[in-house]
Amino acid sequence: MTRHGAGRFSIGLTGGIGSGKSAVADMFAARGAAIIDTDVLAHRLTAPGGDAIEAIRAAFGDDFITADGAMDRARMRNHVFAAPDEKRRLEAILHPRIRAETERAAAELPGDYVMFVVPLLIESGAWRERVDRILVVDCPEELQVARVMRRSGLTEPQVRAIMAAQVSRATRLAAADDVIRNDADLAALVPQVEQLHARYLSLCSDDDATVNPHL
């Protein structure tokens, strides 16, 4: 097995909006995984004083920066949603910085293995080469819609528009090495996480033995 994630065994965790990625990531964190959430990194980069702010200001103008110095996320979301060229321009600013931050965190954070939480992992194309396994959190689309509407206040058409901009459920599942079903309550996640955590620890041990058979 080829090691990624700064030389450590690594998993890319993904799933559609409302699938429950954060809940699953929290459970793996509680069991000793080093969790690196690219959404958290993106928020940090675009917060007041964030490393991406001046590049965003230069590319898009002051109108996309709030009074406190953060990127205006709502305005930017509306701006790039139906404009692929503008979306790529924003990604060209954020993606290299996010990659650098993920690599730094993977090298520094303690944990049995690294788990990258990447909402658009399948869409990006580049992550397949950066992780050892892809873990998809899956649930029926109607449940995704209901969860997002409940937590965000968005309308059903708005949620479905976001979902339409992501890869299909079938495409995501086809790319998965492992799948966690999140169509019940949180308690139903526990045995699935426990089983995969044990498997990942075993794969870490197998990989260590391959690298150094004397360990």
Please tell me whether residues 100 and 135 are part of one structural domain.
no
First to last CA, the chain: 17
Is 130 within the bounds of a domain?
Answer: yes
Please tell me whether residues 174 and 196 are part of one structural domain.
yes
Residue spans of alpha helices (H) in 21-117 = 21-30, 38-45, 53-60, 73-81, 84-108
Query: Rg (Cα) of the chain, in Å, rounded?
Result: 18
CA atoms within 13 A on the CB side of 21: 25
Please tell me whether residues 137 and 187 are part of one structural domain.
yes
Residue 30: which pLDDT band, with cuts at 50, 70 and 90?
very high
Q: What is the pLDDT of residue 72?
A: 97
Domain count, the chain: 2
Burial 103-122 (b: 16+ CB within 10 A, else e): eebbeeeebbbbbbbbbebb
Residue of 215 and 175 predicted with greater confidence: 175
Q: What is the pLDDT of residue 185?
A: 92
Please tell me whether residues 93 and 81 are part of one structural domain.
yes
Q: CATH number of the domain at 157, please.
A: 3.40.50.300
**pLDDT exceeding 90 applies to what percent of the chain?**
80
Residue 211: which pLDDT band, with cuts at 50, 70 and 90?
very low
pTM: 0.88
Please tell me whether residues 77 and 126 are part of one structural domain.
no
Calculate the dihedral angle through the C-alpha atoms of 199, 201, 207, 212, rounding to the nearest 10 degrees. -150
Domain boundary among 110, 129, 151: 110
Q: What is the pLDDT of residues 95-154, one digit of tens each?
A: 999 999 999 999 999 999 999 999 989 988 778 889 999 999 999 999 999 999 999 989
Please tell me whether residues 202 and 131 are part of one structural domain.
yes
Q: What is the pLDDT of residue 212?
A: 38
Which structural domain, as residue segments, surrounds residue 127?
Answer: 1-33+112-208
Is 3 within the bounds of a domain?
Answer: yes
- pLDDT surpassing 70 at residue 208: no
Is 54 within the bounds of a domain?
Answer: yes
Q: What is the pLDDT of residues 83-96, one digit of tens each?
A: 989 999 999 999 99
